[in-house]
Amino acid sequence: MVTYTVHEPPDPGSDRADRGVELEFVKDGFSWLTAICPPIGFLANGLWLFTLAYFVGAAALGWVLSTLKLGPQMTGVVFLIINIYLGFEISTLKRWMLEQTGWQALGVVTGKSIAECERRFFESWLPTQPIIAGEAAGQSGSSVPPVPVRRGSRFWPFGTRR
């Protein structure tokens, strides 16, 4: 079973279909990619600021460990421990970053896959959302504009992910 937290952007659309498209599902659990190479794991999750912080912190820690005259084996063990810790905490960092940018947590959902988690969440969430008049009359297919393709990262400073 996998667990996802569901987050909504700070300025959600008025239509429940638009709001549903904008939701972000953040998987809770260990990230092998982040444990093996944290900068790539951070970039894969759109956390470019943490990528820069990792490089600065790794350089500073490497300098401190060399100043303390620790051997390369001990330095490797220290970085291994840090990378494993980051593998466990990547989802927490992503949720924290979403919260800092104004996103709201809507809930937690579990299932066997992302598809099942999305289905379970929307089955309980959609009935509580308001229906727009055109959607209630059965005209939602003709008046709804196409959904834009999402590219990039919502944390990237050069544009939004919409």
Q: What is the pLDDT of residues 34-72, one digit of tens each?
A: 999 999 999 998 899 999 999 999 999 999 999 999 888
Residue 32 pLDDT exceeds 50: yes
Residue 89 pLDDT exceeds 50: yes
Cα–Cα distance measured from residue 35 to residue 149, given in angstroms and rounded to the nearest whole number: 30
Query: Can you state the angle between helices 72-100 and 48-67, rounded to 10 degrees?
Result: 150
Cα–Cα distance measured from residue 65 to residue 63, given in angstroms and rounded to the nearest whole number: 6
Residue 162 pLDDT exceeds 50: no
pTM of the predicted structure, to 2 decimals:
0.72
Minimum mean pLDDT range among 16-20, 64-68, 74-78, 154-158: 154-158
Question: How close are the terminal C-alpha atoms of the chain, in Å?
Answer: 30
Determine contact, residues 25/47, Cβ cutoff 8 Å: no
The pLDDT of residue 16: 74
pLDDT confidence tier of residue 12, bands split at 50, 70 and 90: confident
Determine contact, residues 25/118, Cβ cutoff 8 Å: yes
- 32 against 13, higher pLDDT: 32
The total of other beta-carbon atoms located within 10 Å of residue 110's CB is: 12
The pLDDT of residue 17: 76
The pLDDT of residue 142: 47
